[in-house]
């Protein structure tokens, strides 16, 4: 199962995936490329460190979506890298037909809350401000609706009285770094 990682920022989840791959913990899954929409984003550095091609591609003029032409160009570049699957790991742009149709049922996303609660931006801050006792993270299939595709798995994090937003976020990120590589491994065993 060859897959591409799409990300926009720090790439700590991309790094967790690449570390798991290097350690032989990714089953039959093979990362073939990292694709980033933000020039100079740290995620691009992980490509060099782990020997996986990493490129920044132009998404078009919008902030949270692609232009249709650019999304088609991304789909083509990802296909040409040999990917059959796409893993969204901190990718802050919604996908539409050009990518969804090119990889039907083969795109997964990581989200930092227990969906369907707190979709959209800043899932961790939204849950914190609501005052939840538990939150966590979700890996789900991607469809045309925002953060609403079929859930594959979730991990739960408890908010303790001693937590700050920072420690709460840290615990959610730790669970993300464990959950996402494990879901990729499990999908690769059945793909
Ligand atoms: C992660 O917490 C991920 O769940 C979130 O962005 C962060 C990326 O961190 N994704 C979303 O909010 C998607 N809506 P990273 O760049 O260090 O992997």
Dihedral sign, Cα of residue 59, residue 62, residue 64, residue 68 = negative
What number of other Cβ atoms are within 10 A of residue 103's Cβ? 19
What is the rounded average pLDDT of the residues 107-124? 98
What φ, ψ does residue 55 adopt, rounded to 5°? -135, 150
For residue 80, give both structure tokens. 């040409």
Res 191: pLDDT: 65
Q: How far is CA 20 from CA 36, 56, 89, 164, in A?
A: 20, 23, 14, 29
**Look-up of token digits 């979730």:** 154
Q: How far apart are the first and last CA of the chain?
A: 7
What letters, b where the CB count within 10 A reaches 16 and e where it falls short, cover 47-77?
A: beebebebeeeebbeeeeebeeebbbbbbee
Residue 5 scores a pLDDT above 90: yes
* pLDDT tens sequence across 47-96: 999 999 999 999 999 999 999 999 999 999 999 999 999 999 999 999 99
Is residue 190 annotated as involved in ligand binding? Answer: no
Span from the CA of 89 to the centroid of ligand 1 (angstroms) = 6
What is the rounded average pLDDT of the residues 15-23? 98
Q: Which residue, by CA, sits nearest to atom 10 of ligand 1? A: 90
**Look-up of token digits 């039959």:** 28
136 SS3 class: strand
Q: Which residues line ligand 1 (CB under 6 A)?
A: 7, 9-14, 89-90, 110-112, 123, 173, 176
Span from the CA of 63 to the centroid of ligand 1 (angstroms) = 16
Output the pTM of the full model.
0.97
Span from the CA of 119 to the centroid of ligand 1 (angstroms) = 12
111 tagged catalytic: yes
| Residue to mutate, 89, 136, 153, 179, ligand 1, most ligand atoms under 8 Å from C-beta | 89
| Residue to mutate, 88, 90, 94, ligand 1, most ligand atoms under 8 Å from C-beta | 90
């Amino acid at each position: 199962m060859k897959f591409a990682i799409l990300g926009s920022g720090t790439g700590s989840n991309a790094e967790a995936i690449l570390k798991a791959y290097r350690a032989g913990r990714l089953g039959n899954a093979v990362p073939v490329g990292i694709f980033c929409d933000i020039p100079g984003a740290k995620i691009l550095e992980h490509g060099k460190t782990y020997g996986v091609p990493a490129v920044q591609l132009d998404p078009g003029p919008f902030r949270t979506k692609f232009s249709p032409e650019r999304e088609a160009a991304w789909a083509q570049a990802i296909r040409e890298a040999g990917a059959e699957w796409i893993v969204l790991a901190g990718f802050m742009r919604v996908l539409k037909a050009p990518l969804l149709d090119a990889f039907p049922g083969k795109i997964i996303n990581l989200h930092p809350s227990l969906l369907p609660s707190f979709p959209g931006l800043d899932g961790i801050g939204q849950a914190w401000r609501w005052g939840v006792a538990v939150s966590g993270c979700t890996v789900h299939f991607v469809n045309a609706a925002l953060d609403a595709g079929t859930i594959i798995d979730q991990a739960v994090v408890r908010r303790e009285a001693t937590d700050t937003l920072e420690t709460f976020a840290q615990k959610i990120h730790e669970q993300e770094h464990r959950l996402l590589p494990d879901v990729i491994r499990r999908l690769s065993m059945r793909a």
